[in-house]
Structure 1
Amino acid sequence: MDAAQFTHDTVWGNWKRWILLVIWTIIFPLLGGYIMDIFRGSTVPPECNDWVRRFIDGIKYLVAGLIYSIPVIIVLLITFIPVIKEFISQITSESAELNYEAFLPFLMPVIGGVIVAIILGIIVTLIFTIGIIRMARMNRFFEVFNFREILKTIGKIGWGTYIIALIIIYVISFILGMLINLVMEAPFIGIIIALFLWPLLTIFESRYFTRLYDESGE
Protein backbone atom coordinates (compact mmCIF):
# COMPACT_ATOMS: atom_id res chain seq x y z
CA MET A 1 0.00 0.00 0.00
CA ASP A 2 2.90 2.33 0.71
CA ALA A 3 4.34 1.62 -2.75
CA ALA A 4 0.96 2.37 -4.33
CA GLN A 5 0.61 5.63 -2.36
CA PHE A 6 4.16 6.65 -3.25
CA THR A 7 3.44 6.04 -6.94
CA HIS A 8 0.22 8.06 -6.68
CA ASP A 9 2.05 10.96 -5.00
CA THR A 10 4.76 10.89 -7.69
CA VAL A 11 2.46 11.79 -10.57
CA TRP A 12 -0.97 12.80 -9.29
CA GLY A 13 -1.37 16.55 -9.71
CA ASN A 14 2.13 16.81 -11.16
CA TRP A 15 1.78 16.45 -14.92
CA LYS A 16 5.17 17.98 -15.61
CA ARG A 17 6.93 15.25 -13.59
CA TRP A 18 4.76 12.55 -15.18
CA ILE A 19 5.58 13.73 -18.73
CA LEU A 20 9.28 13.88 -17.87
CA LEU A 21 9.10 10.31 -16.53
CA VAL A 22 7.53 9.24 -19.83
CA ILE A 23 10.47 10.82 -21.68
CA TRP A 24 12.89 9.17 -19.25
CA THR A 25 11.24 5.81 -19.89
CA ILE A 26 12.26 6.18 -23.53
CA ILE A 27 15.76 7.36 -22.53
CA PHE A 28 16.05 4.51 -20.05
CA PRO A 29 19.31 5.45 -18.25
CA LEU A 30 17.50 8.55 -16.97
CA LEU A 31 14.69 6.44 -15.55
CA GLY A 32 17.32 4.12 -14.07
CA GLY A 33 18.84 7.12 -12.32
CA TYR A 34 15.41 8.07 -10.98
CA ILE A 35 14.98 4.52 -9.66
CA MET A 36 18.34 4.83 -7.90
CA ASP A 37 17.07 7.93 -6.09
CA ILE A 38 14.00 6.00 -4.92
CA PHE A 39 16.31 3.24 -3.69
CA ARG A 40 18.13 5.81 -1.54
CA GLY A 41 15.05 5.84 0.66
CA SER A 42 13.50 9.24 0.13
CA THR A 43 10.05 9.41 1.73
CA VAL A 44 8.87 11.86 -0.91
CA PRO A 45 9.03 11.33 -4.69
CA PRO A 46 12.29 12.68 -6.20
CA GLU A 47 12.11 15.55 -8.65
CA CYS A 48 13.01 15.02 -12.30
CA ASN A 49 16.10 17.19 -12.28
CA ASP A 50 19.88 16.86 -12.58
CA TRP A 51 19.70 14.93 -15.85
CA VAL A 52 23.47 14.33 -16.06
CA ARG A 53 23.71 12.75 -12.59
CA ARG A 54 20.68 10.60 -13.20
CA PHE A 55 22.00 9.48 -16.58
CA ILE A 56 25.30 8.42 -14.97
CA ASP A 57 23.43 6.61 -12.17
CA GLY A 58 21.29 4.89 -14.78
CA ILE A 59 24.35 3.72 -16.71
CA LYS A 60 25.77 2.27 -13.48
CA TYR A 61 22.45 0.49 -12.91
CA LEU A 62 22.51 -0.98 -16.43
CA VAL A 63 26.17 -2.04 -16.24
CA ALA A 64 25.61 -3.75 -12.87
CA GLY A 65 22.56 -5.56 -14.25
CA LEU A 66 24.50 -6.66 -17.34
CA ILE A 67 27.38 -8.03 -15.24
CA TYR A 68 24.94 -9.93 -13.04
CA SER A 69 23.28 -11.45 -16.13
CA ILE A 70 26.57 -12.83 -17.54
CA PRO A 71 26.25 -16.30 -15.91
CA VAL A 72 22.72 -16.72 -17.34
CA ILE A 73 23.84 -15.52 -20.77
CA ILE A 74 26.81 -17.93 -20.78
CA VAL A 75 24.59 -20.91 -19.90
CA LEU A 76 22.08 -20.00 -22.61
CA LEU A 77 24.84 -19.55 -25.20
CA ILE A 78 26.37 -22.92 -24.34
CA THR A 79 22.88 -24.46 -24.54
CA PHE A 80 21.73 -23.00 -27.84
CA ILE A 81 24.90 -22.56 -29.92
CA PRO A 82 24.94 -26.26 -31.03
CA VAL A 83 21.26 -25.96 -32.02
CA ILE A 84 21.93 -22.76 -33.96
CA LYS A 85 24.91 -24.36 -35.70
CA GLU A 86 22.79 -27.33 -36.75
CA PHE A 87 20.05 -25.01 -38.00
CA ILE A 88 22.50 -22.91 -40.03
CA SER A 89 24.08 -26.08 -41.40
CA GLN A 90 20.72 -27.32 -42.63
CA ILE A 91 19.49 -24.06 -44.18
CA THR A 92 22.79 -23.65 -46.04
CA SER A 93 22.67 -27.20 -47.37
CA GLU A 94 21.03 -28.22 -50.62
CA SER A 95 18.12 -29.88 -48.83
CA ALA A 96 14.83 -28.07 -49.31
CA GLU A 97 13.38 -29.12 -45.93
CA LEU A 98 14.63 -29.08 -42.39
CA ASN A 99 15.52 -32.45 -40.87
CA TYR A 100 13.78 -32.12 -37.51
CA GLU A 101 15.09 -35.48 -36.33
CA ALA A 102 18.59 -34.02 -36.34
CA PHE A 103 17.51 -31.69 -33.52
CA LEU A 104 16.34 -34.53 -31.22
CA PRO A 105 19.80 -35.11 -29.64
CA PHE A 106 19.74 -31.47 -28.52
CA LEU A 107 16.36 -31.73 -26.78
CA MET A 108 17.50 -32.89 -23.34
CA PRO A 109 20.58 -30.62 -23.22
CA VAL A 110 18.37 -27.65 -24.13
CA ILE A 111 15.82 -28.50 -21.44
CA GLY A 112 18.61 -28.96 -18.91
CA GLY A 113 20.31 -25.74 -19.95
CA VAL A 114 17.09 -23.74 -19.68
CA ILE A 115 16.41 -25.16 -16.21
CA VAL A 116 19.94 -24.23 -15.08
CA ALA A 117 19.49 -20.73 -16.57
CA ILE A 118 16.19 -20.27 -14.71
CA ILE A 119 17.75 -21.35 -11.40
CA LEU A 120 20.70 -19.01 -11.97
CA GLY A 121 18.26 -16.22 -12.90
CA ILE A 122 16.40 -16.67 -9.61
CA ILE A 123 19.64 -16.61 -7.60
CA VAL A 124 20.84 -13.53 -9.50
CA THR A 125 17.53 -11.75 -8.86
CA LEU A 126 17.65 -12.50 -5.13
CA ILE A 127 21.14 -11.05 -4.80
CA PHE A 128 20.91 -8.21 -7.33
CA THR A 129 17.73 -6.71 -5.83
CA ILE A 130 19.50 -6.00 -2.53
CA GLY A 131 22.87 -5.31 -4.16
CA ILE A 132 21.58 -2.51 -6.37
CA ILE A 133 19.91 -0.80 -3.39
CA ARG A 134 23.15 -1.05 -1.42
CA MET A 135 24.94 0.55 -4.36
CA ALA A 136 22.43 3.41 -4.37
CA ARG A 137 22.51 3.92 -0.58
CA MET A 138 26.29 3.93 -0.28
CA ASN A 139 26.96 5.55 -3.66
CA ARG A 140 29.70 3.02 -4.38
CA PHE A 141 29.45 0.93 -7.54
CA PHE A 142 31.19 -2.19 -6.19
CA GLU A 143 28.74 -2.45 -3.27
CA VAL A 144 26.46 -4.21 -5.74
CA PHE A 145 28.98 -7.08 -5.64
CA ASN A 146 29.51 -7.07 -1.86
CA PHE A 147 27.93 -10.52 -1.56
CA ARG A 148 28.80 -10.99 2.11
CA GLU A 149 26.90 -7.86 3.15
CA ILE A 150 24.09 -8.54 0.69
CA LEU A 151 23.50 -11.99 2.19
CA LYS A 152 23.70 -10.48 5.67
CA THR A 153 21.01 -7.93 4.74
CA ILE A 154 18.74 -10.66 3.36
CA GLY A 155 19.29 -12.60 6.57
CA LYS A 156 18.11 -9.61 8.60
CA ILE A 157 14.96 -9.36 6.48
CA GLY A 158 14.46 -13.11 6.75
CA TRP A 159 14.87 -15.41 3.77
CA GLY A 160 11.27 -16.60 3.91
CA THR A 161 9.87 -13.06 4.15
CA TYR A 162 12.19 -11.88 1.39
CA ILE A 163 11.36 -14.65 -1.07
CA ILE A 164 7.60 -14.41 -0.46
CA ALA A 165 7.75 -10.62 -0.87
CA LEU A 166 9.55 -10.99 -4.21
CA ILE A 167 7.05 -13.59 -5.42
CA ILE A 168 4.19 -11.21 -4.54
CA ILE A 169 5.68 -8.23 -6.38
CA TYR A 170 6.55 -10.25 -9.48
CA VAL A 171 3.05 -11.73 -9.66
CA ILE A 172 1.56 -8.23 -9.34
CA SER A 173 4.00 -6.85 -11.91
CA PHE A 174 3.25 -9.68 -14.33
CA ILE A 175 -0.49 -9.03 -14.14
CA LEU A 176 -0.10 -5.25 -14.49
CA GLY A 177 2.41 -5.72 -17.30
CA MET A 178 -0.03 -7.94 -19.18
CA LEU A 179 -2.75 -5.28 -18.78
CA ILE A 180 -0.43 -2.58 -20.12
CA ASN A 181 0.44 -4.80 -23.08
CA LEU A 182 -3.28 -5.21 -23.77
CA VAL A 183 -3.66 -1.43 -23.73
CA MET A 184 -0.88 -1.22 -26.34
CA GLU A 185 -3.02 -3.25 -28.73
CA ALA A 186 -5.30 -0.24 -29.21
CA PRO A 187 -4.34 1.53 -32.47
CA PHE A 188 -2.30 4.74 -32.08
CA ILE A 189 -3.53 5.82 -28.64
CA GLY A 190 -2.58 2.49 -27.02
CA ILE A 191 1.19 3.09 -27.21
CA ILE A 192 0.80 6.61 -25.81
CA ILE A 193 -1.27 5.39 -22.86
CA ALA A 194 1.22 2.57 -22.23
CA LEU A 195 4.09 5.07 -22.14
CA PHE A 196 2.29 6.89 -19.34
CA LEU A 197 1.64 3.64 -17.45
CA TRP A 198 5.06 1.97 -17.64
CA PRO A 199 6.86 4.49 -15.38
CA LEU A 200 4.12 4.03 -12.77
CA LEU A 201 4.77 0.29 -12.64
CA THR A 202 8.52 0.92 -12.43
CA ILE A 203 8.11 3.40 -9.56
CA PHE A 204 5.75 1.04 -7.75
CA GLU A 205 8.27 -1.82 -7.96
CA SER A 206 11.17 0.42 -6.92
CA ARG A 207 9.40 1.74 -3.83
CA TYR A 208 8.30 -1.81 -2.93
CA PHE A 209 11.91 -3.05 -3.13
CA THR A 210 13.05 -0.06 -1.08
CA ARG A 211 10.58 -0.79 1.71
CA LEU A 212 11.58 -4.44 1.62
CA TYR A 213 15.25 -3.43 2.04
CA ASP A 214 14.28 -1.17 4.95
CA GLU A 215 12.88 -4.23 6.75
CA SER A 216 16.51 -5.16 7.42
CA GLY A 217 16.85 -2.11 9.67
CA GLU A 218 19.96 -0.89 7.83
Structure 2
Amino acid sequence: MSLVTTIKSNPGLKKFVHSLIVNKRRAEPWFWIKWFVNPFVHKRGKGTVVKYYARLDVYPFNDFRLGSKVIIEDFAVINNGVGGVLVGNNVGIGLSNVIIGPVTLGNYVMLAQNIVISGLNHGFEDITTPPRLQKVTTKQITVHDNVWIGANSSVTAGVTIGKNAIIGAGSVVTKDIPEYCVAVGNPARVIKKYNFETGSWERV
Protein backbone atom coordinates (compact mmCIF):
# COMPACT_ATOMS: atom_id res chain seq x y z
CA MET A 1 0.00 0.00 0.00
CA SER A 2 1.44 3.38 -1.00
CA LEU A 3 1.91 6.27 1.45
CA VAL A 4 -0.81 8.33 -0.28
CA THR A 5 -3.27 5.42 -0.11
CA THR A 6 -2.47 4.88 3.57
CA ILE A 7 -3.11 8.54 4.36
CA LYS A 8 -6.38 8.63 2.41
CA SER A 9 -7.67 5.46 4.05
CA ASN A 10 -7.07 6.75 7.60
CA PRO A 11 -9.36 9.74 8.43
CA GLY A 12 -7.36 10.79 11.48
CA LEU A 13 -4.03 10.66 9.64
CA LYS A 14 -5.55 12.43 6.63
CA LYS A 15 -6.80 15.27 8.85
CA PHE A 16 -3.37 15.60 10.49
CA VAL A 17 -1.50 15.71 7.17
CA HIS A 18 -4.02 18.21 5.82
CA SER A 19 -3.34 20.48 8.82
CA LEU A 20 0.39 20.41 7.96
CA ILE A 21 -0.37 21.59 4.42
CA VAL A 22 -3.27 24.04 4.80
CA ASN A 23 -3.32 27.09 7.07
CA LYS A 24 -7.07 27.07 7.72
CA ARG A 25 -7.09 30.47 9.42
CA ARG A 26 -5.80 32.10 6.26
CA ALA A 27 -7.18 29.61 3.71
CA GLU A 28 -3.80 29.18 2.05
CA PRO A 29 -0.81 26.82 2.11
CA TRP A 30 1.66 27.09 4.98
CA PHE A 31 4.87 28.91 4.05
CA TRP A 32 6.92 25.72 4.13
CA ILE A 33 4.67 24.22 1.47
CA LYS A 34 5.17 27.31 -0.73
CA TRP A 35 8.93 27.45 -0.23
CA PHE A 36 10.11 23.87 0.17
CA VAL A 37 7.51 21.57 -1.43
CA ASN A 38 5.72 23.25 -4.35
CA PRO A 39 8.90 24.17 -6.30
CA PHE A 40 9.77 20.47 -6.49
CA VAL A 41 6.24 19.23 -7.23
CA HIS A 42 4.81 21.74 -9.72
CA LYS A 43 6.25 22.62 -13.11
CA ARG A 44 6.85 26.15 -14.37
CA GLY A 45 7.92 26.69 -17.99
CA LYS A 46 10.82 28.74 -19.26
CA GLY A 47 10.26 32.48 -19.46
CA THR A 48 7.21 32.43 -17.19
CA VAL A 49 6.75 35.48 -14.95
CA VAL A 50 4.66 35.61 -11.77
CA LYS A 51 4.42 39.20 -10.55
CA TYR A 52 5.32 39.96 -6.94
CA TYR A 53 1.77 40.66 -5.74
CA ALA A 54 0.19 37.65 -7.43
CA ARG A 55 -1.08 35.00 -5.01
CA LEU A 56 -0.57 31.34 -5.82
CA ASP A 57 -2.57 29.27 -3.35
CA VAL A 58 -1.40 25.96 -4.73
CA TYR A 59 -1.09 22.68 -2.93
CA PRO A 60 0.97 19.56 -3.67
CA PHE A 61 -2.03 17.21 -3.60
CA ASN A 62 -3.58 18.62 -6.84
CA ASP A 63 -2.06 19.39 -10.25
CA PHE A 64 -0.66 22.82 -11.00
CA ARG A 65 1.35 23.54 -14.12
CA LEU A 66 2.42 26.72 -15.91
CA GLY A 67 3.66 26.50 -19.49
CA SER A 68 6.40 28.62 -21.02
CA LYS A 69 6.15 32.40 -21.41
CA VAL A 70 3.16 32.75 -19.12
CA ILE A 71 2.61 36.04 -17.31
CA ILE A 72 0.53 36.30 -14.15
CA GLU A 73 -0.13 39.93 -13.28
CA ASP A 74 -0.26 41.50 -9.82
CA PHE A 75 -3.23 40.73 -7.54
CA ALA A 76 -4.21 37.64 -9.53
CA VAL A 77 -5.14 34.61 -7.40
CA ILE A 78 -4.81 30.99 -8.51
CA ASN A 79 -6.09 28.19 -6.29
CA ASN A 80 -5.85 24.44 -6.96
CA GLY A 81 -7.23 23.36 -3.58
CA VAL A 82 -10.30 21.61 -5.01
CA GLY A 83 -9.06 20.87 -8.53
CA GLY A 84 -6.02 21.10 -10.74
CA VAL A 85 -5.06 24.25 -12.64
CA LEU A 86 -3.19 23.63 -15.91
CA VAL A 87 -2.01 26.63 -17.92
CA GLY A 88 -0.60 26.33 -21.45
CA ASN A 89 2.11 28.35 -23.20
CA ASN A 90 2.06 32.09 -23.92
CA VAL A 91 -0.90 32.75 -21.62
CA GLY A 92 -1.64 36.17 -20.13
CA ILE A 93 -3.48 36.21 -16.79
CA GLY A 94 -4.50 39.80 -16.12
CA LEU A 95 -4.65 42.04 -13.07
CA SER A 96 -6.93 40.80 -10.28
CA ASN A 97 -7.99 37.59 -12.04
CA VAL A 98 -9.27 34.75 -9.84
CA ILE A 99 -8.82 31.18 -11.09
CA ILE A 100 -10.11 28.29 -8.97
CA GLY A 101 -9.71 24.75 -10.27
CA PRO A 102 -10.44 22.46 -11.88
CA VAL A 103 -9.44 24.72 -14.79
CA THR A 104 -7.42 24.12 -17.97
CA LEU A 105 -6.25 27.05 -20.11
CA GLY A 106 -4.88 26.33 -23.59
CA ASN A 107 -2.08 28.12 -25.42
CA TYR A 108 -2.22 31.86 -26.15
CA VAL A 109 -5.24 32.41 -23.90
CA MET A 110 -5.60 36.11 -23.04
CA LEU A 111 -7.43 37.14 -19.89
CA ALA A 112 -8.08 40.85 -19.32
CA GLN A 113 -8.66 42.38 -15.86
CA ASN A 114 -10.94 41.31 -12.98
CA ILE A 115 -11.98 37.96 -14.46
CA VAL A 116 -13.30 35.08 -12.33
CA ILE A 117 -12.95 31.52 -13.63
CA SER A 118 -14.15 29.10 -10.97
CA GLY A 119 -14.86 25.39 -11.17
CA LEU A 120 -16.08 25.46 -7.55
CA ASN A 121 -19.57 25.75 -6.09
CA HIS A 122 -20.83 25.56 -2.50
CA GLY A 123 -23.92 23.56 -1.66
CA PHE A 124 -26.96 25.42 -0.35
CA GLU A 125 -29.62 22.71 -0.19
CA ASP A 126 -29.60 22.38 3.61
CA ILE A 127 -31.07 25.64 4.94
CA THR A 128 -30.08 24.73 8.52
CA THR A 129 -26.39 24.89 7.58
CA PRO A 130 -24.59 27.96 6.23
CA PRO A 131 -23.46 27.48 2.59
CA ARG A 132 -19.89 28.10 3.78
CA LEU A 133 -20.06 24.85 5.77
CA GLN A 134 -21.81 22.70 3.17
CA LYS A 135 -20.13 20.29 0.81
CA VAL A 136 -18.48 21.78 -2.25
CA THR A 137 -18.94 20.54 -5.79
CA THR A 138 -16.59 20.98 -8.72
CA LYS A 139 -16.92 20.84 -12.50
CA GLN A 140 -14.10 21.13 -15.00
CA ILE A 141 -13.68 24.41 -16.93
CA THR A 142 -11.73 24.21 -20.20
CA VAL A 143 -10.65 27.25 -22.20
CA HIS A 144 -9.12 26.22 -25.51
CA ASP A 145 -6.31 27.86 -27.51
CA ASN A 146 -6.37 31.50 -28.64
CA VAL A 147 -9.36 32.56 -26.54
CA TRP A 148 -9.69 36.20 -25.44
CA ILE A 149 -11.86 36.96 -22.41
CA GLY A 150 -12.74 40.61 -21.80
CA ALA A 151 -12.51 42.49 -18.50
CA ASN A 152 -14.94 41.87 -15.62
CA SER A 153 -16.21 38.58 -17.05
CA SER A 154 -17.08 35.40 -15.14
CA VAL A 155 -16.86 31.80 -16.32
CA THR A 156 -18.91 29.34 -14.26
CA ALA A 157 -18.25 25.72 -13.36
CA GLY A 158 -18.54 23.11 -16.10
CA VAL A 159 -18.12 25.49 -19.06
CA THR A 160 -16.00 24.81 -22.15
CA ILE A 161 -14.94 27.69 -24.41
CA GLY A 162 -13.86 26.65 -27.90
CA LYS A 163 -10.67 27.77 -29.61
CA ASN A 164 -10.45 31.29 -31.06
CA ALA A 165 -13.61 32.36 -29.22
CA ILE A 166 -13.97 35.92 -27.94
CA ILE A 167 -15.88 36.74 -24.75
CA GLY A 168 -17.00 40.37 -24.49
CA ALA A 169 -16.26 42.47 -21.42
CA GLY A 170 -18.65 42.01 -18.51
CA SER A 171 -20.04 38.71 -19.74
CA VAL A 172 -21.18 35.82 -17.56
CA VAL A 173 -20.48 32.53 -19.31
CA THR A 174 -22.84 29.85 -18.00
CA LYS A 175 -22.92 27.53 -21.03
CA ASP A 176 -20.41 26.18 -23.54
CA ILE A 177 -19.26 28.61 -26.23
CA PRO A 178 -18.37 27.09 -29.64
CA GLU A 179 -15.05 27.77 -31.35
CA TYR A 180 -14.62 30.80 -33.62
CA CYS A 181 -17.52 32.69 -32.01
CA VAL A 182 -18.02 36.02 -30.25
CA ALA A 183 -20.23 35.83 -27.16
CA VAL A 184 -21.44 38.69 -24.95
CA GLY A 185 -23.92 39.41 -22.18
CA ASN A 186 -25.38 37.91 -19.00
CA PRO A 187 -25.85 35.08 -19.64
CA ALA A 188 -23.41 35.17 -22.54
CA ARG A 189 -24.83 34.34 -25.97
CA VAL A 190 -23.19 34.05 -29.36
CA ILE A 191 -23.61 37.15 -31.55
CA LYS A 192 -20.96 36.53 -34.22
CA LYS A 193 -19.29 33.57 -35.89
CA TYR A 194 -16.26 33.46 -38.16
CA ASN A 195 -17.08 32.53 -41.76
CA PHE A 196 -14.10 30.79 -43.31
CA GLU A 197 -15.53 31.18 -46.81
CA THR A 198 -15.76 34.99 -46.61
CA GLY A 199 -12.90 35.42 -44.16
CA SER A 200 -14.96 37.65 -41.87
CA TRP A 201 -16.85 37.67 -38.56
CA GLU A 202 -20.59 37.62 -39.30
CA ARG A 203 -23.60 38.21 -37.06
CA VAL A 204 -25.79 35.22 -36.27
* TM-score interval for Structure 1 and Structure 2 normalised by the shorter chain: under 0.3
Q: Which of structures 1 and 2 has the larger relative contact order (alpha carbons within 8 angstroms, sep 6+)? A: 1
- When Rg is computed on C-alpha atoms for both structures, the one with the higher figure is 1
TM-score (norm 2): 0.22
Greater fraction of residues in helix: 1
Name the structure with the higher strand share.
Answer: 2
